[in-house]
Amino acid sequence: MADALNIDKTTTALLSMDFQNEILANFQDPQRAALITQASSALAAARKAGLAIAHVLVRFQPGHPEVSPRNMRFSDAKKANRLVTGTPGADNHPELGPQGTEPLVTKVRVGAFSTTNLEVLMRARGITTLVLQGIITSGVVLSTVRWAADMDYRLIVLSDCCADPDAEVHRVLMEKVFPKQATVLSAAQFAQAVE
């Protein structure tokens, strides 16, 4: 599949999403270590190829004023005082953070485009293809695939650079849901395609 995949390096961006310490804590080694290794290798391949890269994080102000009591997804984070701006748990894992001028986009909802300026950043660069890696598969990855597909981006999802606490949900999304709107590749296939 990667052999036939034509990636225009001038119009492609890699989005690295929610690789935050508190979110990575949902996964145990060796899965967490493998995920960090794969995502780091995809970032390295994208940087070597000269692709645009953006990092997306979910962060809240102290007290979580952005979280409604009706928000089922983030109510637990509010109760546990998690993902607060300026705390180590809300930071990117050190191996997966921005380098140089790679932008860091902060959101207060699930999808990478919701509550952010990501679309403006992508449009300013002339980006038409997005390569997605992130956690959690059924959270930020799914929401971003749906939103970006509706905005007519060409999408690539890196299967081994995403994870979900429910392995079956991850499998179904990668094998049955995402292929309807995106090309699903491994980190190695992506690296080969952008060499």
pLDDT tens-digit map of 61-95 = 999 999 999 999 999 999 999 999 999 999 999 99
**103, 54 contact by CB (below 8 A):** yes
Determine how β-strand 129-135 pairs with β-strand 183-185: unpaired
The span from the CA of 179 to the CA of 94, in Å, is 31
10-residue stretch averages of pLDDT, the chain, 195 residues long = 73 98 96 97 98 98 96 93 97 96 97 97 98 98 98 98 97 98 97 94
The model carries a pTM of 0.96
The CB density around residue 22, as the number of other CB atoms within 10 Å, is 18
pLDDT digits (tens, 9 = 90+) for 152-173: 999 999 999 999 999 999 999 9
